Amino acid sequence: MQRFGRPALYAAAALVSFEAAFVLGSFVMKFGEPAPVMAFARAIVGIHAHIAWDFTLIARPEVLAPLGVALIVAAFVFRNWSGRIAFSLLSLLLSWRADAFLQHFFKRPRRTDWVIHHETSFSYPSSHAAISCGFYLLWAYFIARSELPIAFRVSLTGLLVLLWPTILWSRLALGAHYPSDLLGGTFIGFAAVFALAAAVETIKVVGATSWRA
């Protein structure tokens, strides 16, 4: 049973993260955004909107689809990275689908003070926030713990870590989401990563146990 300690810990973290997203969604659907938080969100709408749109694209299918194809090709070329690539693509898909599930559960309408692009899907939680956490921030972790040259590793990790809050900012600057949407999406991203980590660790434990038997 002790061998399952790490998978159980990851599974618990995934459950807590998903539950946090659910509780937050229930709260804001009933009470709305706190007034000071919403005042801040309204104040930044339209600021550097075209730059915000560029960063928003980074977590949209127009960028993610070719990036995913490139990663699949890279997995065959750089075999020592194939596990991390597979994990990241599964996390991306799980983040997206779990987010879509909660969006259709809560059915929160979008804000009306949008700029540049009117998005008509449901608002809570933000798929951009889920993907920026469950994919880009995950890659920051992978790069930070890799065997790449330290200067390259530190630089790329820093850029990926900064990309996460920048994508979140872009959603507010475009008036595409409420602040709580972004927090809820972040919870979903973490839930996806931890759930996959729990699955991977469980497979390792079961495989090791079967081999010994």
Domain ranges (residues) in the chain: 2-212
How many CB atoms within 10 Å of residue 213?
5
User: Which among 185, 155, 161 has a CA at the least distance from the CA of 172?
Assistant: 185
pLDDT by residue (tens digit) across 43-78?
Answer: 999 999 999 999 999 999 999 999 999 999 999 999
Rounded mean pLDDT of 181-192?
98
Q: Quote the tokens at residue 69.
A: 């194809």
* Helix, strand, coil percent content, the chain, rounded in steps of 5: 80, 0, 20
pLDDT of 42 > 70? The answer is yes
Q: What is the pLDDT of residue 206?
A: 66
Q: Quote the tokens at residue 152.
A: 């390259």
Contacts of 75 (CB under 8 A, 6+ apart): 81, 82, 85, 86
Confidence of residue 113 (pLDDT cuts 50, 70, 90): very high
Q: What is the pLDDT of residue 202?
A: 87
Rg from Cα positions in the chain: 18
Torsion of CA 41, 42, 46, 51, to 10 degrees: 0
107: alpha, beta or left? (left if phi > 0; alpha if psi -120 to 50): left
Q: Are 135 and 88 in contact (CB under 8 A)?
A: yes
Contacts of 16 (CB under 8 A, 6+ apart): none
Q: Are 21 and 182 in contact (CB under 8 A)?
A: no
Q: What is the pLDDT of residue 207?
A: 55
pLDDT by residue (tens digit) across 136-158?
Answer: 999 999 999 999 999 999 999 99
- Nearest-5° angle of CA 163, CA 35, CA 110? 60
Confidence of residue 2 (pLDDT cuts 50, 70, 90): low
pTM: 0.92
In this structure, which amino acid lies at residue 16?
V
Rounded mean pLDDT of 86-100?
96
Confidence of residue 170 (pLDDT cuts 50, 70, 90): very high
Work out the mean pLDDT of the chain and round it to a whole number.
Answer: 93
CA gap 101, 80 in Å, rounded? 33
